[in-house]
Amino acid sequence: MPFASAALLGRDLYLVGGAMFSSVVARYEGAGGAWAVCPALGTPRVHAAVAAAAGRLYVCGGRSQVNQVLATVESYAPGAGRWEAAAAPMGDARYACAAASLGGVVYVVGGQSSRSAIFSTLEAFDPDSGRWLPVSARMGSERKYCGAAPLGGRLYVCGGLRNAGRQRLATVEALDPREGVFREVAPMAAARSSCGAAALGDRLYVAGGSADGSGFHETLEIFEPAMGRWRPGPALSCARSGLALAAI
């Protein structure tokens, strides 16, 4: 399903929503290597962001079937049998955003509002208190359709679109929550949006995405923070955009 969101919870990979405003949720069992259908979302949504924290999945924002940009958040615990509305919505309704969990906190970054404004802000949800935390950090660039992943105590935000969606980005920013500041790191070799991002070991992987013009990327780039640079990885079997990436 294009533009579905994915997150790893335990050893299982969850695929959530997607194009055509899907409410479908599927689980890939890491131990058994088989797909299973999970309870459907309460609200079908596309271009939402998903992350796992404190034993639950959190699906944030997106667009609904009536083209409403959502601030609502749904959460799911394996075995619960249903999705639940989070105690509080996000401060801003946003879609085409990215989400990642770092230090037990769910971060939702970037995206676009119902008025077509592209965000440089992020929001932080604390599952323990059920509240959104105040965050003053802002990215150096607004961006939507970006990728995000945690690595080494930092939240990395990669690529995306800015300038009313006319400029595709190769830039990468990293947030250390202890400092509360985004800092640019080395840019990727290729500008890309609607790409997949995931961390494995001590490396960050960014794959696929839309390229300048009307093409898609089949390339994979690997960032090594210790070296401060990107290097090419094995290409995907085909060029693709709107993909999700997760490390099992």
E strand or H helix at 57: strand 56-60
Output the DSSP codes for 191-224.
Answer: --BS-EEEEETTEEEEE--BPSTT-B---EEEEE
Boundaries of domain holding 115? 5-233
Asked if the structure places residue 87 within a domain, the reply is yes
Asked if the structure places residue 205 within a domain, the reply is yes
Q: In what order do the strands lie in the sheet with 56-60?
A: 49-53, 56-60, 73-76, 84-85
SS3 167: strand
Asked if the structure places residue 211 within a domain, the reply is yes
Reading the block at residue 227, the tokens are 């070296």
The model carries a pTM of 0.95
Q: What is the pLDDT along the chain (248 residues), one digit of tens a residue?
A: 667 889 999 999 999 987 777 899 999 987 678 999 999 999 999 999 999 999 999 999 999 988 899 999 999 999 888 999 987 999 999 999 999 999 999 999 999 998 889 999 999 999 999 999 999 999 999 999 999 999 999 999 999 999 887 899 999 999 999 999 999 999 999 999 999 999 999 999 999 999 988 799 999 999 999 999 999 999 999 999 999 999 98
Q: How many domains does the chain have?
A: 1
Asked if the structure places residue 47 within a domain, the reply is yes
How far is Cα 135 from Cα 187, in angstroms, rounded to an integer? Answer: 25
CA atoms within 13 A of residue 85's CA, in its CB half-sphere = 9
Q: For residues 106 and 51, is the Cβ–Cβ distance under 8 A? A: yes
Asked if the structure places residue 62 within a domain, the reply is yes
Asked if the structure places residue 244 within a domain, the reply is no
Asked if the structure places residue 243 within a domain, the reply is no
CATH number, domain of 41, equals 2.120.10.80
